[in-house]
């Protein structure tokens, strides 16, 4: 099936730089009109001269390649602003077909040192931001499906992280937000399928301004050749998931980086225990669970740290 996005319109959040910019450019190359969101409007530099906002720079890059794009500077965690994103897509390009939620921030710290503001800000931008834009887009697609009497074209691509499945020690706020995004994605996949909308989530490993302090040492950028952590390794998967070719892909979680795409599966049930009576007692649970964990490697549980070791070619 076709991967062309000609005639489609996409919204990409956090698209002024890094991963979001690469995704917006990829969608435009596939033919989509793009609403480029990034927080921060145009301003003035130290000399008083006008300075372009990051969203404007991405728009200019898309236009220079022959595409169509418009900038949006609002806070996507605000419900009214999220609604305005959908309205802008409809006003400028006649509709909305694709939502790529990418915007995010980092406030890394160990849980015992984390402030309330550091927790709240990361949860707000990542999790509430995904919810706000999804709510607006889903409402638009539902209403359109009702008017047209059947399913419409809708694609949601959300952004989580391996931190949610690996349990990143110094990122309790980020890991919690990304785990919430996976839950949101799966819920939307079930709820919106009847309207023709798919909802999937990617866990990208990419070197951006947000992650420049994360990927250092042995994961530093090479002096020559394409960086294995370049955002351009991620954007083709977003393009595919946004396309007609991915109509049967729904409720999926992908890890993507450096020439590798991994599909995560269902968490296995490691063991099952049934009470011998009508109700468990603490003593019975001790008799059942303690021997089970005595034979297991410490830390071997729900967290899948093996995914952190995935490399292209291994």
Question: Could you give the residue numbers annotated as active site?
Answer: 161, 174, 178
Q: Report the C-alpha gap between 166 and 160 in whole angstroms.
A: 12
Residue 253 DSSP one-character state: E
Q: Which two tokens stand for residue 84?
A: 């305005």
Q: Cα dist. 72→10, 18, 41, 95, 242 in Å?
A: 12, 17, 8, 16, 20
Quick check: helix, strand or coil at residue 54? helix
What totals of helices (H) and strands (E) does the chain contain, helices first? 9, 10
Q: Where are the beta strands (DSSP E) in the chain?
A: 9-12, 33-37, 43-44, 50-51, 69-72, 98-100, 154-159, 197-204, 253-257, 260-264
């Amino acid at each position: 099936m076709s991967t062309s996005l000609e005639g489609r319109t996409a919204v990409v959040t956090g698209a002024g730089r890094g991963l979001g910019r690469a995704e917006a450019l990829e969608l435009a190359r596939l033919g989509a009109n793009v609403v480029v969101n990034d927080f921060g409007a145009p301003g003035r530099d130290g000399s008083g001269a006008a300075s372009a906002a990051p969203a404007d720079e991405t728009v200019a890059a898309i236009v220079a390649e022959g595409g169509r794009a418009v900038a949006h500077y609002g806070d996507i965690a605000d419900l009214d602003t999220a609604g305005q994103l959908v309205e802008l897509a409809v006003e400028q390009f006649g509709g909305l077909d694709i939502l790529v939620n990418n915007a995010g921030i980092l406030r890394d710290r160990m849980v015992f040192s984390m402030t309330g503001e550091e927790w709240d800000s990361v949860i707000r931008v990542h999790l509430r931001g995904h919810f706000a834009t999804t709510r607006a887009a889903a409402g638009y697609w539902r209403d359109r499906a009702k008017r047209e009497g059947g399913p419409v074209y809708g694609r949601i691509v959300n952004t989580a992280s391996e931190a949610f499945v690996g349990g990143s020690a110094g990122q309790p706020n980020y890991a919690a937000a990304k785990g919430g995004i996976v839950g949101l994605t799966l819920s939307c996949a079930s709820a919106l399928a009847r309207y023709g909308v798919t909802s999937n989530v990617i866990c990208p490993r990419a070197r951006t301004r947000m992650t420049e302090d994360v990927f250092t040492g042995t994961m530093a950028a090479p002096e020559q050749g394409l960086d294995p952590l370049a955002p351009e390794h991620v954007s083709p998967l977003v393009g595919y998931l946004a396309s007609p070719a991915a109509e049967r892909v729904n409720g999926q979680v992908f890890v993507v980086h450096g020439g590798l795409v991994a599909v995560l599966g269902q968490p296995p049930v490691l063991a099952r225990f049934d009470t011998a009576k009508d109700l468990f007692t603490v003593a019975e649970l001790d008799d059942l669970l303690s021997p089970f964990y005595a034979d297991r490697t410490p830390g071997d549980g729900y967290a899948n740290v093996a995914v952190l070791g995935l490399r292209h070619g291994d």
